[in-house]
Amino acid sequence: MFKSTDRGGTWTSISHELTNPDLELRSLAVSPADSNYIYTANYSRMFVTTDGGNSWKELTGSSLPTGVTYIAVHPRDPRTLWVSLRGYRAGQKVFRSTDAGETWANVSGILPNIPANCITIDPLSYGLYVGTDLGVFYSPSDNISWLSFDNGLPNVIVNELEIHINGNKIRAATFGRGLWESPLAVTPGIFSPIDLAGERRINKSLFQMEYIDVLTWRANPMNEPDKVVNYRIYQVTGNTETLIETVNPGTFQFYIRNVNRQIEYLYSISALDETGKESLKVYISVE
């Protein structure tokens, strides 16, 4: 396992050789809630680190069958995850763990006896989508009553699923039939702001010089008129998000004054509707 903190310019090993050379790692997932939790697997072995790669633990001795094809981690809980499984073992297509892989529950339900190639989770509704050799299946909120989700999609092998939450879309990469997209099964109540950007400015006066981080964004056109009642701006430190300010829906620029010019700051912003429901946060780092 290798990690880059400069967008791929340089790489650092964060693990020893987890498998022998003919069993290369095939799947990888970093927890959106806590990046110290990283899961990886090949078809026969699975591993987890809870400290960003300082130490690793093998999960193969748990109740998880072999044949992992894909890993999806819960958006808010780093210890809850799902895996999809290849092969033709009836009733063994999707498994869930709520304790970082120590134990597993079979949530395959009525999924057909075909390979499950990938799995992803809607970060707002927590609905699950599985790509199989015969299209896509959907399960609302981890309910094992899976539904076919392939209206207009040919009976094709689906190898990759990605959700674009601001566009209310799920996209599928197939074997031999190109890319397909569909609206999500559940429409989010409120969408995140878009085009978030940030820059650090210098404010000079006769008596002082201060550094200011300036955030700008745009309203998401997917939201209905007057849907957004506020935007919330947070500062992110490690796994903690501290609310800086709540601004009105006509505000699309915010200034954070007196920042340390030598420190990179991470910010997030979300939209809030009249019921108090908050959109998914979007993030920007400023340095």
Q: In 3-state terms, the chain is what percent helix, strand and coil (to 5)?
A: 0, 45, 55
Closest CA to 140 of 153, 122, 156: 122
Residue 9: burial class (beta carbons within 10 Å; 0-12, 13-18, 19+):
exposed
pLDDT at residue 143, as a whole number: 62
Query: In the prediction, which pLDDT does 166 show?
Result: 77
147-159 per-position pLDDT tens digit:
899 888 988 999 9
Note the pLDDT of residue 44. 87
- The string of DSSP letters for 202-219 reads EEE-SS-EEEEEEEEEE-
Which amino acid is it at 281?
Answer: K
Residue type, 177: R
Is residue 55 a contact partner of residue 49, using CB atoms and an 8 Å limit? yes
b/e string for 27-45 if b means 16 or more Cβ within 10 A? bebbbbbbebbbbbbbbeb
Domain ranges of the chain: 2-183, 194-286
**What is the reported pLDDT for 173?**
97
So what's the pLDDT on residue 218?
A: 93
Q: What is the pLDDT of residue 167?
A: 83
Q: What is the pLDDT of residues 248-257, one digit of tens each?
A: 999 999 999 9
Number of residues in the chain: 287
What pairing do the DSSP bridges indicate for beta strands 2-3 and 12-13?
A: antiparallel
User: Looking at domain 2-183, does it have CATH number 2.60.40.10?
Assistant: no
CATH code for the domain defined by 194-286: 2.60.40.10
Query: What's the pLDDT at 142?
Result: 61
Predicted local distance difference test score (pLDDT) of residue 19: 76
What residues in the chain have per-residue pLDDT under 50? none
Q: Which residues of 99-132 are buried (b: 16+ CB within 10 A; e: fewer)?
A: ebbeebebbbeebbeebbbbbbbbbbbbbbbbbb
pLDDT at position 21: 65
Residue 257 pLDDT: 92
Residue 252's closest CA among 190, 196, 189? 196
